[in-house]
C-alpha cells in the first residue's frame, strides 16, 4: 500500500476518533447545567463521568480482542451505531437515571472505536513513520477536545445541555457512513476460541468498585459501609481477575502484555497523566462556572486552551519521538506540567480569566508533548498479532485515569467547598450573635435551600439567609482549588520519578506493516 493511500484511510479513521473525543469533552462545560436540571449534588455529577468510563474501560480490551477475531472495520461500524443511538437517547432522557444508562452505552460504543483506530496505525504505517501517525492521532484527539470544549460551552449557553448529545449523535452517523464507504477491512488474524465471560464480569466489578471509591467517600464518608464495600469489591475482583486470566485460553486481558514493563510503564504514566488532567479540568469547570460572572462558555474557553495547545504540540512531539530520545521528551514535559499545576494552585475568585488561560496553556502544551512518545514506546512493545488487544489494554488503562481523576477531583473539590462553606457560614453567623442552636442548624444546612424557619431566625438577626449561604459558598470555592492541586502535585512528582525509568528508544517487537486487503477504489 502506498503512503498516500494509507494516509487517506487514516484520515477517515481519525474523524471517528475526533467525534468520540469531542463528545467526551462536551461534558465538562455541560456538567453544571445538567446538575441544575436534574437537581443532583456536585458529587453525584461525577456519576455522569464514572458510568461512561466504567463501560469504556471495561469493554476496551474486550472489543480490541473481538476486533482481532471478527474484523476491525466491522467493530468500528458496530461502535458508531451504538455511540450515535445512545447520544440521541441521552438528549431525551427524562430522568437522571436514564441519562446515566445512556452514558453507559456511549462508553460501550467508544470502546469499539478508539482501540481499533490505534490498531490500524500498526497495520498502515511502518515503525519509522509511526511516531508521526501517533502524533497526528494525539492531535486529532486534542482537536476533538478543543472544539468540544469551546463549542460545548457556547452551545450549552445558547441552547441548553441537550444540544451536545444531539450534535454528537449526528456526527457519529456521518462517521459511520465514511467508514462504510472508504475504510478497508483488515485480515482476520485468528479464530475466536471463546468468550471470557468470567473475566469480563470481574473486570467490570474491579473497575466499578475502584472507581466508585472517591464518589462514595466524598458523599458518605471514607468509613461508610458503601465506601468500604466498593473498596473490598474492587480489590478482590482485581485479584481474582489476575489469577483467572492466567488460566483461560482466550483471556479478556492479555497478562503477557501487562507483564512487559516496556508496555506497562508508559501506559501507566499515561494513565496517571490523564487522571491529573481530568481532576484539574473538572474541578476548574465548577470553579469557573460558579464564581461571580462565570459561565459555561468560560469553562469551554479554558478547556479549549488546554486541548488546543495539546493539538498544536502533539504532531511536533511525534516527529521528535521518531528522531530523538523519548525518555527525555517525557521527563521535560512532566516537569512543565508540574510547574503549571503548582502555579494554578495560586488562583483566586478574582483571578482574571486570561491569567488562568495562560497557566493552562503551559499544561496543555506539555501534555501534548509527552503523549506521542509514551504511545510510541507502548505500541512498539506489543507484538503485531496482538496490536488490537494491546491497544485495548492501553485504552483501558488510559480511560481508567479519566474517571479516576474526575471523581477524585470532584470529590476533593466538592468536599472542600462544603466544609469551608459551612465553617464560613458558622463564623459569619457567630459574629452577628447567633445562638448555639442556630449554629448547629447552620452546620447541617443545604448550602442553597434554607428552610423558611431558618430564614426567619436569621432575618431577626438582620441577615438574609440566601446572602449568607452564597457568601459561604464563595468562600468554599475560593479555597477548594488548592486542595485539588495539592493532591495532584504529589501524583505528578511520582510520575516524574517513574519517567526516569523509561526506555530511551522503543523496544521493537516487529516493524513490518500489514497490508489491508481490498482498498476501496475511492482511495486509490
What single string gives the DSSP state of each residue in 463-513? --HHHHHHHHHHHHHHHHHHHHHHHHHHHHHHHHHHHTTS-SS---S--PP
Regarding whether 381 and 259 lie in a shared domain, the answer is yes
Classify the phi-psi angles of 403: left when phi > 0, otherwise alpha if psi is within -120 to 50, otherwise beta.
alpha
| Residue 191 lies inside a defined structural domain of this protein | yes
How does residue 332 score in pLDDT terms, banded at 50, 70 and 90? very high
Distance CA 121, CA 215 (A): 36
Predicted confidence (pLDDT) at residue 84 exceeds the cutoff of 70: yes
pLDDT in tens, 258-299: 888 888 888 889 889 888 998 998 899 889 988 888 888 888
Domain ends where: 233, 249, 265? 249
Which three cell numbers, joined as nine digits, stand for 341?
Answer: 499545576
Greatest extent of the chain over all pairs of C-alpha atoms, in Å: 82
Classify the phi-psi angles of 332: left when phi > 0, otherwise alpha if psi is within -120 to 50, otherwise beta.
alpha
Regarding whether 150 and 12 lie in a shared domain, the answer is yes
Predicted confidence (pLDDT) at residue 218 exceeds the cutoff of 90: no
Regarding whether 146 and 241 lie in a shared domain, the answer is no
Distance CA 304, CA 146 (A): 4
Regarding whether 340 and 407 lie in a shared domain, the answer is yes
Evaluate if pTM is beyond 0.75.
no
Regarding whether 366 and 353 lie in a shared domain, the answer is yes
Distance CA 21, CA 128 (A): 27
Q: What is the CATH number of the domain that holds 501?
A: 1.20.1250.20
Regarding whether 258 and 170 lie in a shared domain, the answer is yes
Regarding whether 500 and 407 lie in a shared domain, the answer is yes
Predicted confidence (pLDDT) at residue 312 exceeds the cutoff of 70: yes
Distance CA 380, CA 327 (A): 14
How does residue 376 score in pLDDT terms, banded at 50, 70 and 90? confident
Residue 445: domain span: 419-474
Classify the phi-psi angles of 420: left when phi > 0, otherwise alpha if psi is within -120 to 50, otherwise beta.
alpha
Classify the phi-psi angles of 450: left when phi > 0, otherwise alpha if psi is within -120 to 50, otherwise beta.
beta
Regarding whether 479 and 453 lie in a shared domain, the answer is no
The count of structural domains within the chain is 3
Predicted confidence (pLDDT) at residue 361 exceeds the cutoff of 90: yes
Distance CA 387, CA 122 (A): 7
Regarding whether 230 and 330 lie in a shared domain, the answer is no
pLDDT in tens, 16-74: 878 887 777 777 788 888 888 888 877 677 788 888 888 887 787 778 778 877 888 88
Domain ends where: 249, 270, 285? 249
Average pLDDT across the chain, whole number: 81
Predicted confidence (pLDDT) at residue 232 exceeds the cutoff of 90: yes
| Residue 519 lies inside a defined structural domain of this protein | no
pLDDT above 90 covers a percentage of the chain that reads: 20
Amino acid at each position: 500500500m502506498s503512503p498516500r493511500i494509507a494516509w487517506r484511510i487514516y484520515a477517515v479513521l481519525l474523524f471517528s476518533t475526533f467525534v468520540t473525543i469531542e463528545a467526551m469533552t462536551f461534558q465538562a462545560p455541560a456538567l453544571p447545567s445538567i446538575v441544575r436540571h436534574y437537581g443532583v449534588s456536585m458529587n453525584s455529577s461525577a456519576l455522569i463521568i464514572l458510568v461512561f468510563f466504567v463501560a469504556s474501560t471495561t469493554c476496551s480490551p474486550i472489543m480490541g480482542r473481538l476486533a482481532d477475531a471478527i474484523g476491525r472495520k466491522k467493530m468500528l461500524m458496530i461502535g458508531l451505531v451504538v455511540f450515535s443511538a445512545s447520544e440521541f437517547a441521552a438528549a431525551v432522557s427524562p430522568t437522571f437515571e436514564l441519562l446515566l444508562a445512556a452514558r453507559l452505552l456511549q462508553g460501550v460504543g467508544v470502546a469499539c472505536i478508539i482501540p481499533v483506530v490505534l490498531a490500524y496505525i500498526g497495520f498502515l504505517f511502518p515503525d519509522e513513520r509511526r511516531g508521526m501517525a501517533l502524533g497526528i492521532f494525539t492531535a486529532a484527539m486534542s482537536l476533538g477536545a478543543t472544539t468540544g470544549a469551546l463549542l460545548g460551552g457556547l452551545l450549552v449557553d445558547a441552547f441548553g445541555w441537550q444540544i451536545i448529545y444531539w450534535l454528537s449523535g449526528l456526527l457519529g452517523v456521518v462517521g459511520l457512513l465514511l467508514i462504510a464507504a472508504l475504510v478497508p477491512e483488515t485480515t482476520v488474524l485468528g479464530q475466536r476460541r471463546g468468550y471470557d465471560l468470567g473475566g469480563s464480569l470481574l473486570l467490570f466489578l474491579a473497575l466499578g468498585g475502584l472507581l466508585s471509591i472517591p464518589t462514595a467517600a466524598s458523599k458518605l464518608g471514607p468509613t461508610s459501609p458503601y465506601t468500604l464495600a466498593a473498596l473490598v469489591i474492587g480489590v478482590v475482583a482485581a485479584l481474582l481477575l489476575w489469577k483467572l486470566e492466567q488460566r483461560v485460553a482466550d483471556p479478556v486481558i492479555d497478562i503477557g502484555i501487562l507483564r512487559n514493563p516496556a508496555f506497562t510503564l508508559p501506559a501507566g504514566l499515561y494513565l496517571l497523566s490523564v487522571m491529573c488532567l481530568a481532576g484539574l479540568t473538572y474541578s476548574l469547570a465548577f470553579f469557573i462556572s460558579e464564581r461571580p460572572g462565570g459561565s459555561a462558555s468560560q469553562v469551554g474557553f479554558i478547556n479549549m486552551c488546554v486541548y488546543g495547545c495539546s493539538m498544536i504540540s502533539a504532531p511536533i512531539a511525534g516527529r521528535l519521538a521518531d528522531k530523538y530520545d523519548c525518555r527525555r521528551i517525557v521527563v521535560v514535559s512532566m516537569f512543565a506540567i508540574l510547574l503549571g499545576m503548582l502555579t494554578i494552585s495560586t488562583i483566586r475568585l478574582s483571578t482574571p480569566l486570561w491569567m488562568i488561560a495562560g497557566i493552562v496553556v503551559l499544561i496543555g502544551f506539555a501534555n501534548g508533548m509527552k503523549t506521542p512518545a509514551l504511545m510510541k514506546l507502548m505500541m512498539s512493545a506489543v507484538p503485531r498479532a496482538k496490536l488490537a488487544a494491546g491497544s485495548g489494554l492501553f485504552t483501558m488503562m488510559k480511560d481508567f485515569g479519566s474517571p479516576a481523576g474526575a471523581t477524585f477531583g470532584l470529590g476533593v473539590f466538592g468536599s472542600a467547598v462544603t466544609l469551608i462553606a459551612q465553617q464560613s457560614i458558622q463564623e459569619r453567623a457567630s459574629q452577628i450573635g447567633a445562638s448555639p442552636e442556630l449554629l448547629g442548624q447552620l452546620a447541617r444546612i443545604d448550602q442553597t435551600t434554607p428552610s423558611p424557619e431558618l430564614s426567619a431566625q436569621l432575618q431577626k438577626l438582620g441577615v438574609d439567609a440566601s446572602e449568607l449561604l452564597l457568601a459561604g459558598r464563595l468562600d468554599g470555592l475560593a479555597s477548594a482549588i488548592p486542595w485539588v492541586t495539592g493532591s495532584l502535585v504529589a501524583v505528578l512528582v511520582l510520575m516524574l520519578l517513574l519517567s526516569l525509568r523509561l526506555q530511551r528508544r522503543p523496544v521493537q517487537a516487529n516493524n513490518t506493516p500489514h497490508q489491508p486487503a481490498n482498498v476501496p477504489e475511492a482511495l486509490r
